Amino acid sequence: MIEEYGKTFFEKAERAEIVVPGDTWFATAAKDVRVMAQAYASDGFVFLEKNDEVNALASFAYGNGWLDTGVKAGLIASFPVSLPTGVPPSGFKDGIPETLSDHLSEKTLRYERMLTTALVSVCINSEPELPLNLAGTELCRIAHQHYHEGTTEIAHSNLADGLARISYAYGWIDAGVRIGILRVEENHELFTM
């Protein structure tokens, strides 16, 4: 299931097109989002080749967060549009070998701690009455929703699905910072800047 999720994500990332004109201020942000998504798609398959399903899952989910943020921001389009959104499905538990259970536990709990801190380290980078404030509010709502879903899975000892949701939410926050919708107020080391 991890490989299938990765293949769908890889196809979406490879076909992602920048939809803002190349000479605009937002073109660089669009390129950054597409490059990050494509890099994490490739990285995920490198991890799979090394039999590291834990890092593969985290990589695919995190990159999907970047891609979906770019699409939602109107910077890129992902084709074919018939492919499902990058929200990680449930059921990754069977895709993680028992030999990686300690690795899964360590990474999941570490990412949960990192995202918990990251979420309180950012603020919306716009005045309340401006349109980008609505974008920041929606972005934070989406990230918090998937964070909550991830922590719920973790609390129910479903670490693989928890890691996928946490990684996906982290991709949204990180992309939001990179695009400029969110501003980092502290713990800068937790973000791709």
Residue 72: is its pLDDT beyond 90?
yes
Positive/negative CA dihedral, 64, 65, 68, 70: negative
Structure tokens at 123: 């603020």
First to last CA, the chain: 31
The 10 Å Cβ neighbour count of residue 28 is 14
pLDDT (0 to 100) of residue 84: 61
Contact between residue 115 and residue 147 where contact means Cβ atoms under 8 Å apart? yes
Q: For the chain, give every domain's residue range.
A: 2-190
More confident residue, 87 or 113: 113
- The token pair at 129 is 């009455």
Q: Over the stretch 111-168, which tens digit does the pLDDT of each residue have? A: 999 999 999 999 999 999 998 999 999 999 999 999 999 999 999 999 999 999 999 9
What pLDDT score was predicted for residue 79?
74
DSSP symbol at 87: P
Q: Is the dihedral of CA 115, 192, 105, 6 positive or negative?
A: positive
Contact indicator for 71, 12 with CB cutoff of 8 Å: no
From the list 166, 177, 190, 165, the residue with the least C-alpha distance to 136 is 177
